[in-house]
Amino acid sequence: MLNFDMVGRLNPESKLAINGVGTSPGWPDLIKSSNTFGFDITSSESGIGPSDHSSFYVMDMPVLHFFSGSHEDYHKPSDDVDKINSAGMVRIANLVVAMISGMNNKEKMQFTKTKDADPSSSPKLEVTLGVLPDYLYDGAGLRLDGVRDGKPAQIAGMKKGDIITHMAGKDIKDIYAYMAVLGTFHKGDKIKVTALRGGKEMEFDISF
């Protein structure tokens, strides 16, 4: 199952996320051999994610989820046709066509289960920082792809591109650590967030 979810805004660096590569041993080589289109691909193994491919994965079907990144117009009327990178969408489609052609020359794609987080263990969030994570970032920390107006991060002075490294003194190595730490805060809490901006460490006072 090949899932296109938000592939309309390919960035100038041609960064593309492909999730679910662990659901078949054939995916990694097929993706590599098909990528003659210059994509900088970030991948993850899990077949579970916040999109339609999860329903197919739990039925023991190999899946891939293609994603060109989040943006500040998500679920807003401002996410209009003028924002679409049509040429980028064509490149992504061509990549998948090449992969399908490669699959036609193979045996049936073998399914493998991946190490998936237990959904019941996900933290219940009482507060929000008001940020959009950069899901294409694969470095240490949580890089922001945007901040919501009027939310704690924006009020504190945080900006798109900041990389959160610590919250209330706790290490933020990735989005999972961020979610786990965020789940420990309550309305009215005041914390300090440490982030990198242009390589310089900065500290922000956050009020939930």
| Count of C-beta atoms within a 10 Å radius of residue 159 | 13
Question: In order of start, what are the domains of the chain with their CATH numbers?
Answer: 2-104 (no CATH), 123-207 (2.30.42.10)
pLDDT at 115: 81
pLDDT at 58: 87
Predicted model pTM: 0.71
Residue 110 zone, left/alpha/beta (φ > 0; ψ -120 to 50; rest): beta
Which stretch, 30-39, 44-53, 110-119, has highest mean pLDDT?
A: 30-39
pLDDT at 108: 87
Q: How confident is the model at residue 122 (pLDDT cuts 50, 70, 90)?
A: low
Q: Which residue has the higher pLDDT, 132 or 87?
A: 87
Sign of the Cα pseudo-torsion (183, 184, 190, 193, in order): negative
pLDDT at 198: 94
Q: Which residue has the higher pLDDT, 7 or 125?
A: 7
Q: Look over the chain and give the mean of its residue pLDDT values, rounded to a whole number.
A: 91
